[in-house]
Amino acid sequence: MNNLLSDPAPDFDQPVAVLKHCHGRIRKQLSTLEKLLAHLPEHGADEQARQAATAVLKYFDKAAHLHHDDEEQDLLPMLLAVAKGDDAATLQALAPVILQEHKDMDAMWQDLHEQLTGIADGSGTQLSASIVRRFVQNYQGHMEREEGIVAPMALRLFGPDQMARLGAAMRRRRGLDAPAATAESAPAIGERVADLRKDYGQARLDEDDVAHDPVVQFTRWFEEALKAEVNEPNAMSLATVGEDGRPTSRIVLVKQFDERGFTWYTNYASQKGKQLEITPFAALLFFWSELERQVRIEGRVERTSNDESDKYFNSRPLKSRLSAIASEQSEPIANRAALEEHYEEVARQYGEAPPRPQHWGGFRLVPERIEFWQGRRSRFHDRIVYTRQEDGRWTRQRLQP
C-alpha cells in the first residue's frame, strides 16, 4: 500500500526541481490514502492499514507544510518582485488562489488527521470517503496549476542569483544549513535534533549573543524549538487575575507574535475573558523542556480587531468553528451528552459557513517585560530580562539565578 523506498531528491541548487520532487512525494501519499480508503471496509485497521496511515500522517505532519511555506514565503514573493506585464497579471490572479487552496487543504487535513490517527493506533477504522476525495482532488489540481504555470515562470524569470536564494531558503527551512547568526536576525539551526539537544544541554545565554529586540530573540528561540521538534512549542501558560485578586492559569496556544505582541483566541465570556476585561494585564510562560529554556512575558492585554478575529476564525477547521459557537466556555453543563447534542444543533443550524460569534475573538498581550531563561548546571541558570521604557525602547540586563 505504501512504497517505503524514497526517491533520490535533486539538490537545492535546483530549487524548482526540488519543488517538483515534493509534488511527486505528495502524489505517492495521496495514492496511499486512496488505497487505504478501499482497504479498510474489507480488512479494517490491520497491520497494513496501520502502516499506511502512519506513513501518510508522518509525511503530511512533518513535510507537506514545508512545501507550502516554500511557496508562500519565498517562491511567490520572489516571482511577484520580478514579474512584469502578462506574467505579473497572471501571478496577481493566481497567488490568492494558491494561498486559499493551502488553507482549504490544511482544514481538510485536520479532519483526516483525527481519523488517520485512530487507524494508525488501531482504535478506529473510519475514513471519510468524501473528505479523502476532496483532499486528493484539491491537491492534484493545486499541483497541476503550479507545475503548469508557476514552475515554468520561475525557470523563465529567475537568474542564478534568484535560484541560489530560493534554494538557500528552502535548505534553511529544512534545517540543512546553519549560517552564522547576527544580533538582529533569528538563526536557522542546521544540526540534527539529537545534536541540538546535546548542545543545549550545555548551552549558555550571554548578553553579547542575544538580540537587541526581545521579539527578535524570541523568534530565534521559537525557530530553534521548531527545529528541535519540541512538543507543542506554541503552547503557553496564561496567567490572569480574578476580581478577588487571586491568580488563575491555563495553557493556551499562541497564534501569532510580532512587534505588536503575542496573540491567542478564545471565548470572551470565559473565565479568562471576564478576568481580562476587569484587569487587562497578564503573564505568559513558554517552557521548552527539551531545550532547557523558558520565556516569561508580562504586559497589558487588548482585544484584536474584528477583522483579525474574523480572519483567524474563518481559517479554522469547520468543526473548531462550530465548537466555538456551541460551547459556553467555562459554564457548567449536565454531561457530555448534553454538550454534544448542543454541538449537533449548532451544526444543523449553521452548516458549512458558521459566522464568528461576537463573544469569540482574539486577545493580544503587548509586552512590557520579557525574560529569557536558559537552564545551567547546578541550578546556576542564565537569566536575561528586557524591559520596555516609556519611549518604547528596550533595555536588557542579567538577573541572578
Helix (H) and strand (E) counts in the chain: 14, 9
What does the alpha-carbon distance between residue 143 and residue 24 come to, in Å, rounded to a whole number? 10
Look at residues 273, 295, 275, 276 and name the one whose alpha carbon lies nearest to residue 284.
295
> Among residues 107, 340, 326, 363, which one has the least CA distance to residue 252?
363
DSSP 132-165: HHHHHHHHHHHHHHIIIIIHHHHHHH--HHHHHH
**What three-state secondary structure class fits 128?**
coil
| Nearest partner of 178 among 162, 155, 195, 201, judged by Cα | 195
| Catalytically annotated residues | 379
**β partners of residue 365:** 262, 301
- Find cell 476525495 and name the residue: 133
Write down how long the chain is. 401
Which residue, 139, 10, 7, is CA-closest to 68? Answer: 139
User: Distance between CA atoms of 51 and 29, rounded to whole angstroms?
Assistant: 12
CA distance 268 to 19: 42
381 secondary structure, DSSP code: -
Amino acid code (one letter) for 27: R
Residue 98 near residue 31 (C-beta atoms within 8 A): no
Other Cβ atoms less than 10 A from the Cβ of 156: the count is 9
Q: What is d(CA 181, CA 275) in angstroms, rounded to the nearest whole number?
A: 41
Q: Angle CA(11)–CA(12)–CA(16) in degrees, nearest 5? A: 105
d(CA 361, CA 351): 20
